[in-house]
Amino acid sequence: MSKPSPVGTVMIKAARDAGRLLGRDFGEVENLQVSKKGPADFVSNADHRAEEIIYESLTKARPGYGFVMEERGIVEGTDKSNRFIVDPLDGTLNFLHGQPHYAVSIALEREGKLFSGVVYDVAKNEIFWAETGRGAWLDQRKLIVAGRKRLEEAVIATGTPWVGKADSSHRQFANEIAAMTPVCAGIRRYGSAALDLAYVAAGRFDGFWERGLKPWDIAAGIVLVREAGGYVEELDGGDVQTTGSILAANELLMPKLQKQLRRSKSFGAD
């Protein structure tokens, strides 16, 4: 059994503290103040309060560290080597509709590279954590990605473009679905990229793909998948943290998923 480093312990505590608040708010979701940042992009006062708890907790424990936060934005720190990447509530739409599938996601970037990640599944009270060189863990159980070799046995998670996205994004996704559904055992869309990636690390999903995510959606999950023995690639060969277009799977399924997604580009070409 491994134990998180001191900074990992601090991150887990911050995630749990924020999660307790979210759990209380989830029971009274009809009383939350909700606003729209864009089409189908909602934010509630639960998001803001949870982010404030995380910010205060991490700032107290690691003064000088910088932040990249979904609501607060970029906070420059005096320590230029370390910054936290925070999503206080991944799965806001689920949360606001009373669906118990949402998470707190916290990652630490050190010297420009992702170093550690925590994803807290609040409703199930599951803490997924990983640190470079220490492996990936669900509480105290070591995680390893599923070992399935064949797509016809694999369950793959994804995320859909929402209202307000360009028509081309919806067409591209429709083509990708058309390429993937005939060859996979099942496709799932749960609405939280952080948990999708944590579930890949835990072997609950065999893979995950989605386009146009934000750094706070995927940073912690990337560490989890890699430390669980999985692979993370950018869908079109670029930098995944820049584009947010991500594919995660085990070593054997990765090239097969890449092949199917490449095939989707020829759909409707005529």
In this structure, of 96-100, 164-168, 210-214, the range with the lowest mean pLDDT score is: 164-168
Is a pLDDT exceeding 70 seen at residue 163? no
151-266 placed in CATH 1.10.3720.10: no
- Locate CATH 3.30.540.10 in the chain: 6-142
Element (H, E) at 195: helix 193-201
Q: What angle do CA 161, 167, 168 make, to 5 degrees?
A: 85
Fold observed for domain 6-142: Fructose-1,6-Bisphosphatase; Chain A, domain 1 (3.30.540)
Q: What is the pLDDT of residues 221-259, one digit of tens each?
A: 999 999 999 999 999 989 999 999 999 999 999 999 999
Residues 6+ away with beta carbon under 8 Å from 97: none
Instruction: Give the residue from 118, 17, 7 showing the smallest Cα distance to 63.
Output: 7
The answer to pTM > 0.95 is no
Q: What angle do CA 10, 96, 87 make, to 5 degrees?
A: 30
